[in-house]
Homo-oligomer: A and B are copies of this chain.
Amino acid sequence: MGHHQLDELDYKILKLIAANARIPFLEVARECNVSGAAIHQRVQKLTNLGILKGSEFIMDSNKIGFETCAYMGFYLKNPGDFSHVVEELRKIPEVVECHFTTGQYDMFIKLFARNNQHLLEIIHTKLQPIGLSRTETLISFREIFRRQLPIEEVENMD
């Protein structure tokens, strides 16, 4: 799947910067016992490979005014309308994740709203008009934890 080109150093770098995007590369270099230039080159390589897709700050959603986090699964009224629906979902800033799924639903999204009232408003005025059917909403009462993917080197089959 393309990840076997990564060696131990790559994984070590990923593990360090995944958990802290602002860690100085020189500090990463010291922990890995290589030069800063090496880290710089590796990070560039990982970016070029599409493994690193950018960085972001993690914010407390409640503290910036989004008290309600919800997940929604739904079917489409007109299957085959996928791409249109996706485009419409993209226009709704409160929708922060969008997945194609198998099983219970056609699609699955995560969204934030200022409060439960605002969530209902988004569902009624923005989501329903798109053409969804059999929607089910799940409200997260509290996010207990959230973290990065486990980064470990896997069996290298050279």
B1 & A71 in contact (Cβ 8 Å cutoff)? no
With contact pairs A96-B146, A99-B143, A100-B142 given, residues A53 and B62 touching in the complex (Cβ less than 8 Å)? no
A86 to chain B, nearest CB (A): 6
Number of interface residues of A (CB under 8 A): 67
Residues of B contacting A80 in the complex (Cβ-Cβ under 8 angstroms) = none
A104 & B14 in contact (Cβ 8 Å cutoff)? no
A138 & B67 in contact (Cβ 8 Å cutoff)? no
A20 & B54 in contact (Cβ 8 Å cutoff)? yes
A136 within 8 A of B: yes
A158 within 8 A of B: no
Q: Copies per complex? A: 2
B103 & A145 in contact (Cβ 8 Å cutoff)? no
A14 to chain B, nearest CB (A): 7
A145 & B51 in contact (Cβ 8 Å cutoff)? no
> A1 contacts which of B63, B99, B103, B138 (Cβ < 8 Å)?
B63
A57 & B52 in contact (Cβ 8 Å cutoff)? yes
B145 & A62 in contact (Cβ 8 Å cutoff)? no
A157 within 8 A of B: no
Instruction: Please report which residues of chain A, range 50-101, place their CB below 8 angstroms from some CB of chain B when the two chains form the complex.
Output: 50-67, 69, 71, 73, 86, 90, 93-94, 96-101
- A residues engaging B (CB < 8 A)? 1-3, 6, 14, 17-22, 49-67, 69, 71, 73, 86, 90, 93-94, 96-105, 108, 112, 114, 136-151, 154
